[in-house]
A and B are shown apart, each in its own frame.
Chain A
Amino acid sequence: MEKYQFDVAIVGAGGTGLRAAIAVAQADPKLRVALISKVYPMRSHTVAAEGGAAGVVRDDDSYQKHFEDTVAGGDWLCEQDVVEKFVRQAPEELYQLEHWGCPWSRKPNGDVNVRRFGGMKVPRTWFAADKSGFHMLHTLYQTSVQFPSIQRFDEHFVLDLLEEDGECKGVVCYDLQNGAFRQINAKAVFLATGGAGRCYLFNTNGGIVTGDGMALAYRHGVPLRDMEFVQYHPTGLLGCGLLMTEGCRGEGGVLYNKDGYRYLQDYGLGPETPVGQPKNKYMELGPRDRLSQAFWNESKKGRTIKYPLGEAVHLDLTHLGEKYLHERLPLICELAMTYSGVDPVKAPVPVRPVVHYTMGGIETDGNTATRMPGLYAGGECASVGIHGANRLGSNSLVETIVFGKIGGDAMAERAHSLKDFDSPELARQAEAAQKRALDLFDVKGTESMSKIRHEMGQSMEEGVGIYREEESMKKTIETLKTLQNRIKNVGLTDRGRVFNTEWMNLIELGYTLDVAQCMVHSAINRKESRGSHQRLDGPDGAYKQRDDVNFLKHSLAFKQEGADEPRIELSPVKITTFQPAKRVYGAEAEAAEAAKKAKEAK
């Protein structure tokens, strides 16, 4: 097997991975960086992010406000010291991207413009029309090509981490194009592989979002934190689930049920704000979990609109006018036209909640280090602790660059403190990973991979959807257990080594199944409702409430040796200045704030 020696190996070349690679290269051009990705960098799913990235720039805004919005939005399950660091570093990183060429939308005077976003008190979302992720990713990719110390391994699929004496010392990957295995020794390994939305059937995610990094860390004993928190985005295009950005509502789009009624006012988000005058944290600009839950309740009341492809509500943008829509939301117009046959200029778009984001991920500290020395993680695949139980829109794009940078700096430091190394043990592990992968060719089973994938997705929607109950979660747990056995009997039809996607998909599905198990086990263990995790059961419906006494804690999912299911533990949440309170939006929030001010005045 070919062997390489690097200082830093980064797995995943999306927003976080690219930012980390640049950070290392800038910290010290002598450090050799391996940037490994199973696709070309610009295919990474960062590309599909639409709305924007939050960073405090306006005079009427402050770090404190961004901090409070984020922590309250996360239902107090955030690491507050990390959030604090995050909001302070966000503007700097956003300006950095601007200097690198990102076409952030502008005000007439030439300064960067910001837009409103759900759950944010003040407009603070930097945006590049509705292609923010696309522009960020391409800017980062194009910027990265000027650093000769970054060696890319495009279309290389990571099979395993290399571990010795409890430290992470590299990865073994497969070159899809050449059909060769490669061992990459590195002093620091950074996982930036994105989320795991593909656990679910209906999601906004690309086909590559299969939770690879999460499963890699999990299999090496690093816990996955808060995996039960899966965000449903309230406005996915009916049928295909493609994302209609929150920016639609930030720009003034409104949601109607079948009676043409703005139903959100019935769910603690009112009173109704006039059409065309969006107000932060009111109505359509409430947080995502609340909006998705409102849809579910409307559906139960029979007030959604029935289409051949399923139930939907209407996202109405028509009052914004053609010129404004084409300037601010060009991609939305294109997507709705192409995939739904609806022109948002003329007619409302049918939308429904769809799985979008995994708040949880690989447990890390505020510097992206996991509990395994040498292993770091950032971006959606990590849980650095800023999203808590519900992520606010436009916090994740900033997360990629802020923690990409922090991780890059941390790894550069570690690389400086270590010498190059190699050992027969690492080679042995690499060979073993190669053998495990190649052994899949010899399985003579009749199971269908696509059936397993479909059943997993279906079962996850039923068990750990917008609302959850013990009963259905148990069913999902059983289903996943049998799928774990069935996947061992998938026979491959083709032994080809070059671009064998059938083989790669099988390994990916293995990763996804592991992550799905962590999600449902974490969920069934959390006997309360918080953020995106809403339960309907418990004695006298006790789990319908937030339970700060028992569950103001992170869930940790550990791999159990010998068992095919994870073990769940709880860990404390870091609270610094912002004590848990009722999470309120709309008029209720304003009343609460007034009361607080009055109290302070006394």
Chain B
Amino acid sequence: MSEVKSFRKPYNPPVKKMTWWLENPFYIFYMVREGTAVLALFAVLEILFGIFMLALCELTPNQSLTGVAPYVWYLQNFLGNPVIIALNVIILVSQLFHAVTWFALMPKAVRVFMNKNSTELLPEWVTKAALYLGLVGATVVILAVAYLTK
């Protein structure tokens, strides 16, 4: 406050900038949750790689196998590779985990009242149920379309 002597000597505990999150299970959970984004990025790159290989092909109907060799390689030697299959299973699991954490947090960003005259908030489970329904719905539609159009 001024030139008068202060007896203070506050101690600032050092911050472990890299490893702070190892100190608490909640933080570890958080970092794993955030980490799922890395795998999501890998999935994006996989798809992009497929698009790239497909774009290298001759894209006219009834192509000879040589014309579509890049995509066939992608399909058989990349996606078909057991390592990639295993990795994709891991990504699938990680994204389901992400979905669970994402849905768990979403109700916090939603604050809606039941109706105009009520002080009751829309219960969390309703928001969550809607989100899970969305996941199931999207999954069914995509898989059905993928199966039926192949």
Contact = CB atoms under 8 A, between A and B. Distances in A.
A503 to B, nearest CB: 12
Contact of A498 (B1, B7, B117): B7
A432 interface: no
A177 B4 CA distance: 13
A266 B19 CA distance: 68
Given A1-B4, A177-B8, 5 more contacts: A2-B2, A179-B6, A179-B8, A180-B4, A498-B7
A179 B4 contact: no
A302 to B, nearest CB: 46
Contacts of A108: 117
A2 B4 contact: yes
Contacts of A175: 1
17 contacts: A1-B4, A2-B1, A175-B1, A178-B1, A178-B6, A178-B7, A178-B8, A179-B6, A179-B7, A179-B8, A180-B4, A180-B5, A180-B7, A496-B7, A498-B7, A498-B8, A498-B9
Interface string B9-23: 100000000000000
Interface residues of B, number: 9
Interface string A97-114: 000000000001000000
A177 B5 CA distance: 12
A498 B9 CA distance: 9
A84 to B, nearest CB: 38
Interface string A1-19: 1100000000000000000
A497 interface: yes
Query: Number of contact residues on A: which range applies?
Result: 10 to 19
Interface string A477-501: 0000000000000000000111000
A497 B7 contact: yes
B82 to A, nearest CB: 56
A513 B9 CA distance: 34
B119 to A, nearest CB: 8
Contacts of B6: 178-180
Contacts of B4: 1-2, 180
Interface string B86-117: 00000000000000000000000000000001
B76 to A, nearest CB: 63
Contacts of A179: 6-8
Contacts of A497: 7
Contacts of B1: 2, 175, 178, 180
B114 to A, nearest CB: 14
Nearest to B2: A2
Contacts of A178: 1, 6-8
Nearest to A180: B4
Interface in B27-86: none
A175 to B, nearest CB: 8
A175 B1 CA distance: 11
A108 B1 CA distance: 50
A44 B74 CA distance: 70
